[in-house]
Amino acid sequence: MIRQSIKRQIVGIAVGLIILMAITSVLSMVMSARVAHYLDELTSQYVQAYGNLARMNVRSLEQALALRQMIIAKMQSPPDEATFADRKKVYDAKSIEVGREASEARSRINAIIADQSTTSDNATLARLDARIESASTDLRRYLEQEYDRFFQLLDRRDPEELKRSLARIDGLRDDFTAKVEAIRADMLTQVREDSVITMGHQRQAIIISAIMTALAAILGLVVSILVSTGITRPVRRLLDGTRAVEAGQLEGTIDVTTRDEIGELTGAFNRMVEQLRHNERIRETFGKYIDPQVVKGLIDRPALTASEGQRRVMTVLFCDMKGFTSLSEGMTPQGLVKVMNHYLSTVTAPIRSHRGIIDKYIGDAVMAYWGPPFTEENEQAQLACLAALDMIDQIGVLRKEIPELLGVRQVSNQCDLRIGVATGEVVVGSIGSEFMMSYTVMGDTVNLASRLEAANKIYGSRSLVSKATVSAAGDTIEMREIDLLVLVGQTIPQLVFEIMGRKGALTPEQLQLRTHYAQGLTAYRARQWDEAAQAFNAALEAVPGDGPSMALAARVASFQANPPAHDWNGAWQLDHK
């Protein structure tokens, strides 16, 4: 019954408004059309023509600026011919633009004259047309004559004659500017006169519209009193519910108090909120097992779920806990899970804070990646290196917190991290079976990052990165070259670097370490064993216990006793992962 009442009221409103609109249309159609025509002429012809005249002056000044830049380029020693040629093109283009603006202004003025349905002053407009043609033609003719003489003087590089010629050119342009300003002033007068006529017709239309609006307001007020009681209250409840959902509050529902369309809408709203609650629970649940950025990306970009892979340049990071096997021996399952969850949360936080994607946990190892569509390609290596530095900064915290988690004073070994980072082309996409999929990356770059993480064992280092990562990271990270490695499963040597810190944040000892290590590496590759040993020992004096320096010093000592083959190229072959 309520539904029928609302329907009748809406139909009554529609009929009344249609009658009112018909009366309004009959009374104001002619005047509205006339006002529209005047406004169209004013905006599309008068104002545009006035703008063309203004741009003529601007283009003329830009031409003058290009001319002076040509003089500067030509008067240099030696002359800057490239800049001169470039400015000459600008100069010629501005000359053409001056003519084009003049032509467009005349075309619009002639269109106004040709329109007999308006009361424009056609005689004055015709004189303006002739004056525009005369001004642009005279400027072009006189300037072309003067510019030919000017460019001859410019080739002779005669400053005094150039100054006099430039003064004559400026005089011609000033005369042109004065003529255009006078034309613009007369055009502005015509614009004002046309505006007065347009405003008169508009006032008539406004009066009629005001009368019709008053009638519509009275009718609307009467109808609103009739329907507001039954409609506004449930609508307000719906609005409050919508705002609550917008703010993320999905707990409540709205009572359905009517059986009309608004009641149906309220029921649909309640069902929508319930579905949103269900979806939010799914998102929260999956967010604990899949990186939330991947979840959001798969929801917002359904194309990512396609099984077709794509080749993209991405940065991959592997992180592993040093000594995890011995640390986990003797732990209870509950203690092991507690330590693992805390360790993974600690090392994962820097990756997440630097917009990395956690791909998977492999025991105590973490695999993460950066790249499109989650991060921009030009920042992915920087973010990965910064994340690695923050992970290393957490080592001290982990060493203090793990004994507290286990309820002991200390653990038998000092935990540490090994990190490998590589940048390169990978295959990225949804990989898996018809029952379960994983959005992941595959390829040689992934293997390289894993091998670099493992290579930290040999050098006693914490973070090794590829040359491509160093190149892409730019000036945000301090690096040092560690060695030339032939990794397991590869035949081509790879330059390997260590992340030392953020740009400009190295201590004097670290700077000495990097300098001595680089000297030792150069001597090592040149087979100068004594010089290499001396440099690596100097590096250890700067930073005692530096793993790469100790590893290379031991290798040099071995080569002093048993030198490598004659064709040795300085690369070190890794024979295990």
Ramachandran bin of 504, using left for φ above 0, alpha for ψ from -120 to 50, beta for the remaining angles: left
Q: Which of 221, 243, 270 is the last residue of a domain?
A: 221
Structurally, the chain folds into a number of domains equal to 3
**Residue pLDDT tens, the chain, 577 long:** 444 455 665 666 677 667 777 777 766 666 666 666 666 666 777 777 777 777 777 877 787 787 777 777 777 778 777 887 888 788 778 778 877 877 787 777 787 777 776 777 777 777 777 777 776 676 666 666 666 666 666 666 666 766 777 777 777 677 777 777 777 777 777 777 777 777 776 777 778 777 877 777 787 677 666 566 666 666 676 677 677 666 666 666 776 766 666 666 777 767 777 777 766 666 655 555 555 565 555 555 555 544 567 889 999 999 998 876 666 666 777 777 788 888 888 889 999 999 999 988 888 889 999 998 888 888 999 999 999 999 999 888 888 887 777 665 555 556 789 999 999 999 988 777 666 677 789 999 999 999 999 999 999 999 999 999 999 997 889 999 999 998 877 788 989 999 999 999 999 999 999 999 999 999 999 999 999 999 999 999 999 999 999 999 999 999 998 988 888 888 888 876 5
Q: Is 52 exposed, middle or buried (0-12, 13-18, 19+ CB in 10 A)?
A: buried
Q: How far apart are the first and last CA of the chain?
A: 80
Q: What is the spatial distance between Cα 547 and Cα 289, in angstroms, rounded to a whole number?
A: 36
Q: What is the spatial distance between Cα 482 and Cα 487, in angstroms, rounded to a whole number?
A: 14
Same domain, 522 and 446: no
Q: What is the spatial distance between Cα 47 and Cα 111, in angstroms, rounded to a whole number?
A: 13
Q: What is the spatial distance between Cα 311 and Cα 169, in angstroms, rounded to a whole number?
A: 60
Query: How many CA atoms does the CB half-sphere of 484 hold within 13 Å?
Result: 12
Q: Which two tokens stand for residue 211?
A: 């009368």
Rg (CA), the chain: 40
Same domain, 170 and 77: yes
Angle at 435 between CA 433 and CA 437, to 5 degrees: 55
Place of tokens 């040509």: 70
In terms of DSSP bridges, do strands 365-370 and 357-362 run parallel, antiparallel, or are they unpaired? antiparallel
In a domain, 245, yes or no: no
In a domain, 335, yes or no: yes
What backbone torsions phi and psi does residue 171 show, to the nearest 5 degrees? -65, -45
CA distances (Å), origin 181, targets 13, 51, 125, 277, 433 = 56, 12, 15, 68, 76
Same domain, 400 and 515: no
Same domain, 489 and 467: yes
Q: Which of 206, 221, 236 is the last residue of a domain?
A: 221
Show the domain range for 389.
Answer: 309-504
Amino acid 130 reads A
In a domain, 260, yes or no: no
In a domain, 267, yes or no: no
Q: Which of 466, 482, 504 is the last residue of a domain?
A: 504
CB of 127 within 8 A of CB of 109?
no
CB of 462 within 8 A of CB of 456?
yes
Same domain, 498 and 527: no
Same domain, 469 and 550: no
3-state secondary structure of 424: strand
Same domain, 79 and 158: yes
In a domain, 273, yes or no: no
In a domain, 294, yes or no: no
Does this model's pTM top 0.85?
Answer: no
Same domain, 440 and 521: no
Same domain, 500 and 514: no
Q: DSSP assignment of 200-267, as one string? A: HHHHHHHHHHHHHHHHHHHHHHHHHHHHHHHHHHHHHHHHHHHHHHHTT--S-------SSHHHHHHH
Same domain, 486 and 467: yes
Same domain, 19 and 154: yes
CB of 338 within 8 A of CB of 405?
yes
Q: Which two tokens stand for residue 421?
A: 């980072």
Q: What is the spatial distance between Cα 283 and Cα 296, in angstroms, rounded to a whole number?
A: 8
Same domain, 169 and 60: yes
Ramachandran bin of 496, using left for φ above 0, alpha for ψ from -120 to 50, beta for the remaining angles: beta
CATH classification of the domain holding 441: 3.30.70.1230
In a domain, 16, yes or no: yes
CB of 46 within 8 A of CB of 118?
no
In a domain, 198, yes or no: yes
